[in-house]
Amino acid sequence: MAKSAVNRRTFKRYTLEEYITQALAPAAARVRFSEVHVHGTWKPTIAQFRKDGGLKIVQAMWRFHTGTRGWSDIGQHATVDPDGYVWEGRSLLVPPASAEDYNDSDNDGVHPFMFEMVGNFDRGCERLEGAQLRTALGLCRAVMTLMGRGTEIVHFHRDYTSAKTCPGSGVDRAQFIAGVVALGAVPTKPITEVKPKMNVKDAEKVIAHLSAAWGAAKVTDRPEIHRLADEVRKVAGISVGK
Ligand SMILES: [Zn+2]
């Protein structure tokens, strides 16, 4: 990978909706996400996140991955923090360092989307719940929607190795998948606010003039004046009534 990635030290934080519409969907137009790989960090823990904050722990993972591990960048595409925010990771356009032999690392534009959830989710330790769980389910759902696939593309790290409990022995696979299904559709396009093209006050003035004209007009001309008033209402976003 390009050396510039190695020098990057800051990571952007998104809400789930922002991440899907601003990062995931544009990437999905350029590469194909064949699977979703779900991981738990184990370390850092939720307790560490509460103490240090998101940026610091994502940077610590980046340092560990690029330093100790010797990877070209942080391993994951995204990190879901305990408050449900998504932190950017490595470029979505390149394969992840997810699970050995399952990364589809030939850079052919097809690879898994991989995310980490911050926490130690082994039985009796920390819990995957609330906003963090919702975001994790939402990411799975978004990739399914963008790729036109079902839950068969969602995999836990432990599906690929018996050496790991990842994302944690306390995370029930069937329950997680049921959660993805129950979540329903998540928006993958920004919800664009339809802005009126005309100020409501101005529209009302024009309509007042039209009303006066309507009163003075011949009966046969009145429907046309009525129609014009409705056109003004439409561009100003006023509901078209009588
Ligand atoms: Zn893992």
- pLDDT tens readout for residues 197-215: 888 999 999 999 999 999 9
**How many angstroms is it from 9 CA to the middle of ligand 1?**
22
**How many angstroms is it from 69 CA to the middle of ligand 1?**
14
**How many angstroms is it from 239 CA to the middle of ligand 1?**
53
Specify whether 121 is located in the same domain as 49: yes
Q: Which are the contacts of 125, defined by CB distance < 8 A and separation ≥ 6?
A: 45, 119, 168, 170
Specify whether 217 is located in the same domain as 144: no
Specify whether 51 is located in the same domain as 85: yes
Q: What is the mean pLDDT of residues 221-229?
A: 93
- What CATH number has the domain bearing residue 27? 3.40.80.10
Specify whether 47 is located in the same domain as 124: yes
Q: What is the mean pLDDT of residues 111-134?
A: 98
- Examine the pLDDT at 22 and tell me if it is beyond 80: yes
Q: What is the pLDDT of residue 30?
A: 95
Q: Is residue 171 part of a domain?
A: yes
Q: pLDDT digits over 134-189, tens only?
A: 999 999 999 999 999 999 999 999 999 999 999 999 999 999 999 999 998 888 88
Average pLDDT, the chain: 92
Q: Is residue 189 part of a domain?
A: no
Specify whether 176 is located in the same domain as 88: yes
Specify whether 8 is located in the same domain as 59: yes
**How many angstroms is it from 165 CA to the middle of ligand 1?**
8
**How many distinct structural domains can be found in the chain?**
2
What is the extent of the structural domain holding 209? 200-236
**How many angstroms is it from 112 CA to the middle of ligand 1?**
13
**How many angstroms is it from 156 CA to the middle of ligand 1?**
8
**How many angstroms is it from 208 CA to the middle of ligand 1?**
67
Specify whether 11 is located in the same domain as 125: yes
| Domain end (from 156, 183, 210) | 183
Q: Is residue 20 part of a domain?
A: yes
Q: What is the pLDDT of residue 195?
A: 75
Q: Is residue 150 part of a domain?
A: yes
State the pLDDT confidence band at 8, using cuts at 50, 70 and 90.
Answer: low
Specify whether 174 is located in the same domain as 225: no
Specify whether 88 is located in the same domain as 39: yes
Q: Is residue 190 part of a domain?
A: no
**How many angstroms is it from 98 CA to the middle of ligand 1?**
7
